[in-house]
Structure 1
């Protein structure tokens, strides 16, 4: 009852503007100055207008005892805060209306934090990047007046703002869902060299943003960046179990390759352990110079059954943790596993998801974005010796799987082979079908099928592939040309 009476009293005197500045009419701030012929004036107005008076100590004492409604009451805040904490609360209040972070681009929306996500998703979808692994890549042109704003949707949802300011590149990153944040963001800056500049920053709240500065000159010098800097952004969460795993896993680190050891784990006679990849390469223990036998560290191997290993590509963004017997299968198809471009003269490297995009954008003349490819080639039996070293390669991309079709011919045979370069699912098996079409009678066809190759060298490839004798193909040729197709399907 007393609390209710105090609340009613507070509301009444606030309504009567007893605690309002006589000049600006806002809630008084300390110290309160009683100015003759003016009234009670806040500290800010006294300084701005150079007003003199007496400090109203008694009014200050009463004000300090009151719980004041947040000034964002009209937009949904129901908090009443003791006066001494009012300023801090209102600074961070989630009901504080703010303009859209793309207001510089012409957006006139203004609202509270809880409505911001839906507004951004609906009105600025081109600025939204989604990755369930909370790993994001953004290209920034540092020769322009940069102002990049993106909503990063992963396990968290964060806004990142990147600006160029004189000699610095500024990053501001904040969580748009949580008012209190307890995780970090790692940002790697890459240019044309293999070097990168890495910075770790705490993710701030939406209502209390802070900025990290990176010197542009140093960044360009370190990474050899010219126009574009690529930002790799990795969100991470912290919890006690993660800290425990990290402390335990340090004892499973191979001293040679620094990778985590999984069964089988070998040891020298003095107990120094090494992974199964490094052991065959060592004649003596690099720690104590003792000779190796075939001794296994079964105790350490037994402990691996209860250990969760981070994916070997965690530094590239993968957050999966797996048991030892599961990790090899995952790492074979991990979405963050880096792959080189399959074209011999291209140095590009990328993940499973962007290698297909790279092929489509940079090698259109060699890429077929479908599971069916049909073409017509020159064929004259009397000229086969001229084509002894004739060899064509095409790349087929469909359903996130990447294949290489190789067509070769010599004086006696024509060969077709299809290799699986990238699989979306490791267990998938693919069949390729080669069909020779008589274009004078399209229903007349010569068809053969076989299983797509994996990890086969070029010498073995054409020993096991589909082939047709050239003298048979001659009967399907029309005006010195013949048509073939290649179709790929998944084996059920």
Structure 2
């Protein structure tokens, strides 16, 4: 058996080291006069190899193939050793090898080990990380912004790290799609990439590659993207689903039967059927007039047999593509999704198309709509009674709730409304209080309280807090007729 001491001695004396790059020789080795043993890469890439006096060192090739060597990144912590011919394959995917940041150098000049890549992205590029325990990831893509160059790190619940690359093709305009596994398992599984727009959807299958190769990139042409996208916003939802293998038990087989043939999501009650018996989720049923499978009309019969299975099925949260790792039984999933911390909201400002979870909405308001933002649940303002209809809208982000504050001045009264824009059922314990304070005598006050409103309740004088101008006349400032009020949102005591 080969002695590790012998190999170490030969490496320390540079017997197996290329005279130019100082790395382990790569076969076929060339012996160059006045230089020494040169590896194949250095010889092939030399500017003028024809001027060298060189001959093949075939004996060295034989010796190398019979020996076991440590990984070239041993000094960085890698403990891998193997025969020479297997060593090269390992070093191309070694987690200790140095790499640059995956983003363009103009955006980041980081250099480190592959195993440090995830930490670097968490620290410096968190917006490029998607995490999901169910191997399903989604994000928005604007196909009009060129050049398109998407880099996403995908993290699943089994500590697997995948790299998604989407970039523009150099030929006929289209997008190339590649999926690489950072620590490649060699299992050769595939990945489904789905482009979903308002008008249609399109799916492709991409083979997984070891990082950093992109041998199996798949192309989707621009014509298809334009057909799929929303004609108004040009936005497409890109969904990446990493397959986990064949069905292995009855539970997964049942889940397959619950998969809607259109959207590929698990169906929930009501489950609709066509006249031929094909079943689809209620959401897809509302979008089409005929069965997408057989083109027959819909029936009024529901698939109660499948619906009877759903209470025992664990459903991944609909917000799993943005970070929720929860799975809930069919009877509980709807309630969870109403209160999920990863729930996606649309910006309530009418001209804004931003969508994001609660924390992103807070940050979005702070950066883009600060004039509409109230940064506390207790705030004071002044107003002047006027004989015309005016309205002021503000938004408050507190208690993990999104509140819409409305102050309305009418000809004879003032109205205040505070509505909860996220789930109302869990937030009935919150109420708001409006207090009018005498400008001259601070101890003199008048106040009213009411439970915060459901976002769907129609605006009328019966559901808010109302003070008539007659009630407020004695609270005016003597100089300018202004009135002080304070709004406070509180939690009911249990």
Residues of 1 paired with 2:487 and 2:53: CA distance?
91
Which residue in 2 is equivalent to 1:383? none
* Deviation at residue 486 of structure 1 after TM alignment: 1.4
1:458 counterpart SS class: coil
Provide the residue aligned with 1:346 in structure 2: 351
**Equivalent residue, structure 2, for 1:434:** 434
Quick check: 2:164–2:178 contact (8 Å CA) kept in 1?
A: yes
Q: Which residue of 1 aligns with 2:375?
A: 369
Q: Distance in 2 between matches of 1:291 and 1:199?
A: 32
Unaligned runs of 5+ in 2: none
Following superposition of structure 1 onto structure 2, how do residues 135-154 of structure 1 map, counting pairs within 5 Å?
Answer: none
Gap change, CA 1:223 and 1:365, over 3 Å in 2 = farther
**Aligned partners of 1:224, 1:266: CA distance in 2, in Å?**
27
| Distance in 1 between residues matched to 2:76 and 2:419, nearest whole Å | 61
Residues 1:418 and 2:418 aligned together: yes
How far did 1:212 drift?
A: 5.4
C-alpha separation in 1, matches of 2:269 and 2:339: 21
Q: 2: CA distance between counterparts of 1:13 and 1:31?
A: 19
1:164-214 Cα offsets, whole Å, 9 max, x none, are: 8967777877666x35487877778899x8778877656655565779587
1:477 counterpart = 2:476: yes
Structure 1 position 408 matched with structure 2 position 408: yes
- For the residues of structure 1 that align with 2:421 and 2:224, how far apart are their CA atoms? 35
Tell me, in whole angstroms, the C-alpha distance in 1 between the residues paired with 2:35 and 2:98: 32
Alpha-carbon separation, structure 2, partners of 1:300 and 1:143 = 43
Secondary structure in 2 aligned to 1:462?
Answer: coil
Aligned to 1:114: 115
Give the structure 1 partner of residue 465 of structure 2: 466
What's the CA shift for 1:378? 1.4
Q: CA deviation at 1:17?
A: 4.9
Instruction: Give the root-mean-square deviation of aligned CA atoms.
Output: 5.4
Change (3 A) 1:194 1:436: farther
Q: Show the counterpart of 2:73.
A: 72
Tell me by how many angstroms 1:374 deviates.
Answer: 2.2
- Aligned counterparts, 1:194-205, within 5 A: none
Name the counterpart of 1:490. 491
Q: Which whole-Å CA distance do the structure 1 matches of 2:192 and 2:376 have between them?
A: 37
Matched, 1:443 2:443: yes
Q: What count of residue pairs does the alignment treat as equivalent? A: 472
| 2:119 counterpart of 1:128 | no
- Counterpart of 1:422 in 2: which secondary structure? coil
SS in 2 for 1:443: coil
Find 1:30's aligned residue among 27, 31, 38.
27
2:330 paired with 1:324: yes
- Are the counterparts in 1 of residues 344 and 356 from structure 2 also a CA contact under 8 Å? yes
Instruction: Assess if the C-alpha contact under 8 Å between 2:190 and 2:205 holds in 1.
Output: yes
> CA separation in 1, counterparts of 2:280 and 2:196?
33
* TM-score of the pair, normalised by structure 2: 0.71
Q: How far is the alpha carbon of 1:103 from its aligned partner?
A: 8.5
State the shift of 1:446 in Å: 0.5
Distance 1:258 1:105 in 2: 39
**Shift, 1:79, TM fit:** 2.6
Change (3 A) 1:271 1:348: closer
Segment drifting more, 87-96 vs 39-48: 39-48
More helix by share: 1
Task: Answer whether contact 1:184 1:236 (CA < 8 A) is retained.
Answer: no
Give the 3-state SS of the residue equivalent to 2:426 in structure 1.
coil
- 3-state secondary structure, aligned to 1:472: helix
* Deviations 1:106-127 (CA, angstroms, capped at 9, x unpaired): 9776543334555665xxx343
By how many angstroms is 1:350 displaced? 1.9
TM-superposed CA distance for 1:69, in Å, is: 2.6
Conserved in 1, the CA contact under 8 Å of 2:453 and 2:463?
Answer: no
The C-alpha deviation readout for 1:375-416, integer Å capped at 9, x for no partner, is 222126xxxxx33x4444332222442222233354554322
Give the superposition deviation at 1:450: 0.9
Q: Secondary structure, in 3 states, of the residue corresponding to 2:382?
A: strand
Aligned-partner Cα distance in 2 for 1:236–1:274: 20
Q: Which digits, 9 at most, give the CA deviation of each residue in 1:77-108, with x for residues without a partner? A: 33322122222122222222334557935977
How far the C-alpha of 1:216 sits from its partner, in A, is: 9.7
Q: Could you tell me how far apart the structure 1 residues matched to 2:327 and 2:310 are?
A: 13
Distance 1:184 1:355, change over 3 A: farther
* 1:152-163 to 2 correspondences below 5 Å: none
Change (3 A) 1:391 1:141: same
